[in-house]
Structure 1
Amino acid sequence: MADLLPLLGFAIAGSVTPGPNVLMVAAGAAGSGVRAVMPHMFGITFGFSAMIALVGLGLAGPLAASPTIHAGLQVVAVLWLLWLAWKIATAPPPGEGPARPPMNFVQAALFQWVNPKAWMIAGAAIAGYTRPGEALLPQVLTIALVFGAISMPCLLVWAGLGAGARRVLRDARSLRRFNIAMGVLLALSVLPLLR
C-alpha cells in the first residue's frame, strides 16, 4: 500500500473540491439548514466508500469492458445531473412555496453511482494507491476507510457555507440567485462527460 499521507491529501482534495455532492449539500443547507442535510451527507459518505470498495474489488473491469454500458451510464449521469441542477436552480427560497427536501440517506448513497466525479475519483484512487503484487482487499478497504473518514468533515465545510449563505442572503431574491448559481455550477459539472 502506498504511503497514507499522499492518499489522505488526495482524499481531502477529491472530497472538498466542487462537484455534485458538495454543491447539493451547500444548496440543501442554504434552504433547509445543516441538520436537514445530515442524512444526505451520511448517505454520500457511506455510498462513496462502498463504491470505492466495489470498484476496487473488480466492478470497474466489466463496466470498462463494455462501451455500451459505459455510454449508457454517461447518458444517465448527464440527464440526472441536469435534472438536479434544474431542481436546485428553481427551488423556492425558504418560506416561499413548497421546499424540496434534501436527499435522504439511501438516495444520496445511490446517487454516487451516477455521479461522474465519484467515478473519476474512485478509479483514480484505486489505480493510484494500490500496488500490484500486494493483497488487493486490504489496500482497497484502506482507501475506502480513508475516504469515509475524510468525507464528513469536507461535507460539513460545504454545509456550513450553505448555512452561512442562508444567514447572509436574507431576502428571497438573494436566496433565489444563490440557488440559480448552485444549479448552474452543477450543470457545468457535466461538461467533462460531453467530450
Structure 2
Amino acid sequence: MDEMLPFFGYCLLMSGTPGPNNMMLVASGAHHGYRRTLPAILGINTGNAVQTFATCMGLGALFVAWPLLHEALRLGGTLYMLVLAWRLAASPVVHDRPPQRLSFAEAALFQAVNPKSWVRSITIASVFMPAQLSLPAGALLVSGIGAAIGFPCVSMWALFGAAIGRLLSSPARRRAFNVIMAASLALLALLLLR
C-alpha cells in the first residue's frame, strides 16, 4: 500500500487541477446543474479508465515508436479544444437555450484527443504500474484506482460550476461567463500545445 501512495497523489493532482475536462465541467455545471452534468462526469471517468488501461497494455509504446503519431494527436486535441471553446463562446445566452451539454459518449471520446489525459495515462503506464502483478491485472488496478480518485475530483468542478451558476441570472453575466470559460479552455489548449 505504501508503494501506491505516490500514485494516489498523482491521480489526485491530475484529476483535481485545471484542465480541459474540468473547464468543460465548470461550464456545464453552471448552465445545467450537477445532475444534468453527471453523464459528462461519468464519461470523463470511463474514457480515462479505458485510455489508461489501453496505454498500460501497450498503446503508449506506439507513441514511443512513432513520435509523429503523438504530435498529430496533440495537434488534433488542441484543435478540438479550440472548437469546443468557440462553441461555448458563441452559444446563446437566453435562459431557454443554454449551451449544449456534453453527453456521456462525447465526454468519454474527448479523452482520446485530450492532451492532459494522454500525459496522465502515459505517466501511469510508465511510472506507476505495479511490477508484482500481471500486465492485465496491473492495468486494471491502476485504471480502477484512477477512476475512483477522479470521480470526486471532477465532481467538485461541476459542483463549483453549479454553485456559481446561480450568479448568472442575467444574459450579460452568462455571456461574460461563457467568454471567460471559452478563453480559459482556449488558453489551456494553446499551453498544452507547447
For normalisation by structure 1, the TM-score amounts to 0.91
User: Which residue in 2 is equivalent to 1:80?
Assistant: 80
CA distance in 2, matches of 1:5, 1:132: 15
Number of residue-to-residue matches in the alignment: 194
Alignment of 1:28-177 (within 5 A): 28-95=28-95, 98-131=97-130, 135-177=134-176
CA distance in 2, matches of 1:134, 1:48: 21
Give per-residue Cα distances to partners, 1:122-177, cap 9 Å, x unaligned. 11122221255753222221110111111221121111111111112322212221
Structure 1 residue 68: Cα displacement: 3.2
User: Which residue in 2 is equivalent to 1:7?
Assistant: 7
3-state SS of the aligned residue for 1:189? helix
On the 8 A contact 1:85/1:186 being kept in 2, the answer is yes
On the 8 A contact 1:32/1:94 being kept in 2, the answer is no
3-state SS of the aligned residue for 2:112? helix
Mean Cα deviation higher: 7-16 or 48-57 = 7-16
Structure 1 residue 186: Cα displacement: 0.8
Identity of aligned residues (%): 34
Q: Give 1:153's aligned amino acid.
A: P
For normalisation by structure 2, the TM-score amounts to 0.91
Q: Give the alignment's Cα RMSD to 1 decimal.
A: 1.9
User: Which residue in 2 is equivalent to 1:26?
Assistant: 26
